[in-house]
């Protein structure tokens, strides 16, 4: 009988200790001893950055390093659609680092004279994030902020814009579907035929390799639908040799090709040295093409322009 009583007393003592311990932890978790006082933020950019930072700091001051409620942080930045995700890492006893993952606008969707900013993944961010540097896309209906676009052509265009090197994003004027598929129109007049939204990074890199070649001087378009076989096209009656000998074409080359090449190569770190084959447009490349008996003309190049293919093995 006495043995059973001792066992019961021991169990009661253990249970009481656990309850007291749990209560003590709960009390500590919300005490000033572990309150968040120092907040560090990273990943915030753009015009809404100050407002996002203020909202997160204010929400974090109601948390503790033993009780980081990411839901409360997400609720604080819910009005900011540019915020895609948050990651919060506490630093005992008073620190908290918040990493913000943004979905920045890459295009302005134009519908019936109204413009709204759109992210690379198709999320509509609203007119508040518009800027003059955003390239334009034409849409059939006006979506509300927060909606996700479903049109395949618009999504492919956004994928291309999202993959563009940052130094070139401001150089793109618009993207539209044309006879060569998705066409990227640069602000200085150069057209780039992407065809579709597949392998956009490889196509931008292929464009960089073409523009880095002197033989692309005076080009009016570059076809990168096949990244391994890009082609530079020239106005009828013109070509690399003609463009190089004409001061007018040289001026056009500087505005349309030179600046783009510098921006692309600076952003991607690309150059002709990255190709494993002969440099595009070089004598070796031309000899290899002529020796193989393959045509250097792009099959779908516009008949009014003369294409000059610059094959590479990269992309």
Residues 106-145 have pLDDT tens digits of 999 999 999 999 999 999 999 989 999 999 999 999 899 9
Domain boundaries, the chain: 32-102, 105-149, 164-309
* pLDDT value of position 27: 62
Average pLDDT over residues 31-59: 92
Stretch 94-103: mean pLDDT: 95
More confident residue, 182 or 315: 182
207 touches 230 (CB < 8 A): yes
Instruction: Tell me the pLDDT band of 82, cut-offs 50, 70 and 90.
Output: very high
Contacts 24+ apart (CB under 8 A), 178-186: 179/302, 180/223, 180/225, 180/300, 180/302, 181/225, 182/153, 182/156, 182/157, 184/160, 186/256, 186/260
Superfamily of domain 32-102: membrane protein fhac (3.10.20.310)
pLDDT tens, residue by residue, 215-244 = 888 899 999 999 999 999 998 766 654 444
Residue 184: pLDDT over 80: yes
């Amino acid at each position: 009988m006495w043995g059973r009583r001792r066992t019961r007393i021991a169990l009661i003592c253990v249970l009481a200790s656990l309850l007291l311990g749990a209560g003590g932890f709960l009390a500590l978790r919300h005490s000033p001893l572990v309150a968040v006082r120092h907040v560090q933020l990273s990943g915030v950019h753009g015009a809404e950055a100050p407002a996002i930072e203020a909202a997160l700091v204010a929400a974090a001051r109601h948390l503790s390093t033993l009780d980081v409620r990411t839901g409360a942080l997400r609720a604080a930045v819910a009005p900011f659609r540019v915020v895609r995700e948050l990651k919060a890492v506490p630093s005992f006893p008073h620190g908290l680092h918040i990493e913000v993952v943004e979905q920045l606008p890459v295009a302005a969707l134009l519908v019936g004279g109204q413009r709204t900013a759109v992210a690379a993944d198709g999320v509509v961010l609203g007119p508040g994030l518009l800027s003059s540097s955003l390239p334009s896309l034409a849409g059939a209906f006006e979506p509300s902020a927060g909606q996700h676009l479903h049109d395949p052509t618009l999504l492919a265009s956004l994928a291309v814009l999202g993959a563009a090197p940052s130094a070139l994003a401001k150089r793109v004027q618009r993207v539209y579907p044309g006879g060569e598929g998705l066409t990227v129109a640069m602000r200085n007049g150069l057209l780039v035929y992407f065809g579709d939204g597949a392998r956009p990074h490889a196509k931008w890199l292929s464009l960089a390799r073409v523009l880095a070649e002197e033989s692309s001087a005076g080009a009016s378009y570059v076809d990168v639908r096949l990244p391994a076989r890009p082609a530079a096209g020239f106005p009828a009656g013109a070509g690399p040799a003609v463009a190089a000998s004409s001061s007018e074409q040289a001026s056009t080359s500087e505005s349309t090709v030179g600046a783009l090449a510098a921006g692309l190569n600076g952003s991607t770190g690309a150059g002709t040295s990255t190709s494993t084959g002969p440099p595009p447009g070089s004598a070796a490349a031309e000899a290899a093409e002529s020796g193989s008996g393959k045509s250097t003309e792009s099959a779908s190049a516009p008949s009014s322009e003369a294409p000059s293919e610059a094959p590479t093995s990269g992309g």
